[in-house]
Structure 1
Amino acid sequence: MNIFRFLGDMTHLFSILVLLLKIYATQSCSGISLKTQELYAMVFVARYLDLFTEYISLYNSLMKLVFIVSSLAIVWCMRARPSVRHSYDKDLDTFRHYILVACSFALALLVHEKFTIKEVLWAFSIYLEAVAILPQLVLVQRSGNVDNLTVQYVFFLGAYRAFYVLHWIYRYFTEKYYGRWISWVSGLVQTALYADFFYYYFISWKNNAKLQLPA
């Protein structure tokens, strides 16, 4: 494992910890898109169905388990925990995420490396992850002014994908490892979606001001 892969995993894990901290410490999910959290739960369940059938390493298995359990726990809190769900910005979180699910699944059926249930679900998870952040970015934009923990959550989630792109580039130059082109394309698309957010994030950080995205 190279440093970029490790940093990618750690920033991804840290983004989840920041989100859980926000929910449990403030008993609020204001500024968080339930639609994005549901999409990520689908991504992890679809991708890690091999958790109990294939073993790569203890680290690999633990990370898969953490991502599945944490994503489902976040969705449960936002939907079923009375002290949290009352703060959900339902009127702002109106992105039609089912369209993303339908398009990702249709694309997975058409574009995959092998027509098996496992491979189609893997491709579906890759395509869906590439666009899963859209409802969250739209919610942040509509809110205009969001709290610091929500901003940090989105930032670390974007940093995770950026580190993974660096991981693939590093492996290409050091191991001549090409990987799966589906992951490359989807990863680049996902990173590009964060470009606007990163720009305004660094502007606010430079000016020591609160992040505000243009409507």
Structure 2
Amino acid sequence: MRTTKSPIHAVSTWVRRQPPKVKVFLAVASGITALVLLKFIVHDHDNLFVAAESVHSIGISLLIYKLTKEKTCAGLSLKSQELTATFLAVRLYCSLVMEYDIHTILDLATLAATLWVIFMIRFKLKASYMEDKDTLPLYYVLVPCAVLAVLIHPSTSHNILNRISWAFCVYLEAVSVLPQLRVMQNTKIVEPFTAHYVFALGVARFLSFAHWVLQLVDTRGHLLVALGYGLWPSMFLISEVVQTFILADFCYYYVKSVFGGQLVLRLRSGVV
């Protein structure tokens, strides 16, 4: 007898067989559909940014649970956590001197949790840290972001140091997950809590992206003027796009794995 395939499995199999151009089109179409739904479901689009920071905090909470209950940090990238702490610290500084609102409190809580994760990996659970898999040099990420921030930053009335810092944390946030993706690429197997964490990052990135896109639509493009002039508004939006799509492939395989009832996510070559 033939086994009946689930709709999810049938759709994923069909998508996997499509050429790259069709996959890109489907990804873009899905993203646009999600944006349209969010526009009508969420009336105050600033809540999407709060939701993004909240989902990031949930992802960190999953890591804390993993570290405290399972007593292992296998599969986690210390370098990604250090990059996350860096951009959160810089963004917290910018928030304190430039706005100070609910985002400041959320960033402070997330930064404290991230520093705790770093402490656990570096000292308490160092024996299980897969240093040989965490191979992406930090300067590959930090130096380009710093140079880009000096060259392209907001043209607002704030102090030049604050404007460069703001640009730096935007660029760094977009690529801070790269060391974690390298670890998963090297191991090919992602255990549940790490997969949940990275998926939470993907959701948070998309919500942040949706916030800015819908704000842009609501203001009929005037948001770009508020961000400043020159290349900065474009680079800001590009950073949002990059940090969203950099995790899109992983999120697809995560959802497929969850619906397939798999507890451990096995990545094929080239997924991340």
TM over 0.5: yes
Quote how far apart the aligned CAs of 1:109 are: 0.8
Q: Which residue pairs with 1:85 in the alignment? A: 126
Quote how far apart the aligned CAs of 1:34 are: 0.3
Quote how far apart the aligned CAs of 1:52 are: 4.7
Counterpart code for 1:189 = V
Q: Is the 8 A contact 1:51 1:64 kept in 2?
A: no
Q: Which residue pairs with 2:179 in the alignment? A: 135
Query: After the TM superposition, which of the residue ranges 176-185 and 41-50 deviates more from structure 2?
Result: 176-185
Query: After the TM superposition, which of the residue ranges 59-68 and 7-16 deviates more from structure 2?
Result: 59-68
Q: Are residues 1:60 and 2:103 paired?
A: yes
With normalisation by structure 1, the TM-score equals 0.90
Quote how far apart the aligned CAs of 1:55 are: 5.3
Quote how far apart the aligned CAs of 1:94 are: 0.8
Q: Are residues 1:185 and 2:238 paired?
A: yes
Q: Which residue pairs with 1:214 in the alignment? A: 268
- Counterpart Cα distance in 2 of 1:47 and 1:169: 20
In the TM superposition, what whole-angstrom CA distance separates every residue of 1:5-59 from its partner, at most 9, and x where no partner exists? 23212211111111111111212111100010011111111121145545533x3
Q: Is the 8 A contact 2:53 2:107 kept in 1?
A: no
- Counterpart Cα distance in 2 of 1:185 and 1:7: 21
Quote how far apart the aligned CAs of 1:145 are: 1.4
Alignment partner for residue 139 of structure 2, among 88, 94, 98? 98
Q: Secondary structure at the match of 1:178?
A: helix
Query: After the TM superposition, which of the residue ranges 46-55 and 129-138 deviates more from structure 2?
Result: 46-55
Counterpart code for 2:187 = S
- Counterpart Cα distance in 1 of 2:88 and 2:193: 23
Which consecutive unaligned segments of at least 5 residues does structure 2 have? 1-43, 228-232
- Counterpart Cα distance in 1 of 2:104 and 2:250: 32
Query: What is the 5 A alignment of 1:192-207?
Result: 192-207=245-260
Provide the alpha-carbon RMSD of the alignment.
Answer: 1.9
Length, aligned pairs only: 212
- Counterpart Cα distance in 1 of 2:192 and 2:181: 15
Quote how far apart the aligned CAs of 1:4 are: 2.2
Q: Which residue pairs with 1:49 in the alignment? A: 93
Q: Which residue pairs with 2:36 in the alignment? A: none
Alignment partner for residue 117 of structure 2, among 74, 88, 100? 74
Alignment partner for residue 117 of structure 1, among 146, 161, 183? 161
Query: After the TM superposition, which of the residue ranges 168-177 and 203-212 deviates more from structure 2?
Result: 168-177
Q: Which residue pairs with 1:156 in the alignment? A: 200
Counterpart code for 1:77 = M
Counterpart code for 2:62 = V
Counterpart code for 1:26 = E
Q: Is the 8 A contact 1:130 1:186 kept in 2?
A: yes
Alignment partner for residue 74 of structure 2, among 30, 55, 77? 30
Q: Which residue pairs with 2:39 in the alignment? A: none
Q: Which residue pairs with 2:15 in the alignment? A: none
Quote how far apart the aligned CAs of 1:69 are: 1.5
Q: Which residue pairs with 2:170 in the alignment? A: 126
Quote how far apart the aligned CAs of 1:195 are: 1.9
Q: Is the 8 A contact 1:93 1:135 kept in 2?
A: yes
CA distance change for structure 1 residues 109 and 51 in 2, over 3 Å: closer, same or farther? closer
Quote how far apart the aligned CAs of 1:174 are: 2.7
Which consecutive unaligned segments of at least 5 residues does structure 1 have? none
Counterpart code for 1:144 = K
- Counterpart Cα distance in 1 of 2:95 and 2:247: 29
Q: Is the 8 A contact 1:95 1:135 kept in 2?
A: yes
Counterpart code for 1:64 = D
- Counterpart Cα distance in 1 of 2:135 and 2:240: 25
Q: Is the 8 A contact 1:39 1:128 kept in 2?
A: yes
